[in-house]
Copies of this chain bind each other. A is one copy, B any other.
Amino acid sequence: MITTHASGALKKIIPLFDRVLVERFAPALKTKGGLHIPEKALGKVLNATVVAVGKGIRQKDGTYVSVSVQPGDKVLLPEYGGTKVELEEKEYFIFKEADILAKLEH
C-alpha cells in the first residue's frame, strides 16, 4: 500500500482484485563505454516499482489467488495498457498482474 506524505491528506491506494499499483523509475543503466542511455532508447517497456497490490483474482468460492509480485518488486511493464493515477504530485500506474512482463532482480 502507498501512504502519501502530505499531512492532512494521508491516503492509501488499495488496488482491487489482481491489480497492482506501480511507480515508474528511470533505470540508471550505463553502456559499456560509460555513457548513460537516455530513457527513450530503452524500448517499449516501462521500468517500475510495485507500490501496492490487490488481493488477487477472486474465485467462485470467494477465495483469492494471490498476485505473484509484492510491494518493492522491480517489474517490467508494457508501454501501454495501464491507467495513470496522480496523487499529490506523483504519478502512478495501475496495471493488471497479467500485464506484468517480468520481474527484475539484482
A residues whose Cβ falls under 8 Å from a Cβ of B:
1, 6, 8-17, 19, 21, 28-32, 37, 41-45, 52, 54-55, 58-60, 62, 65, 68-69, 76, 78, 83-89, 91, 94, 97-98, 100-106
Contacts and interface: CB of A to CB of B under 8 A. Distances in A.
Given A12-B104, A12-B105, A65-B58, A41 B86 contact: yes
A29 to B, nearest CB: 6
Contact of A45 (B69, B78, B85, B88): B85
Contacts of A15: 101-102
B14 A102 contact: yes
Copies in the complex: 7
Given A9-B28, A31-B89, A60-B59, A83 B105 contact: no
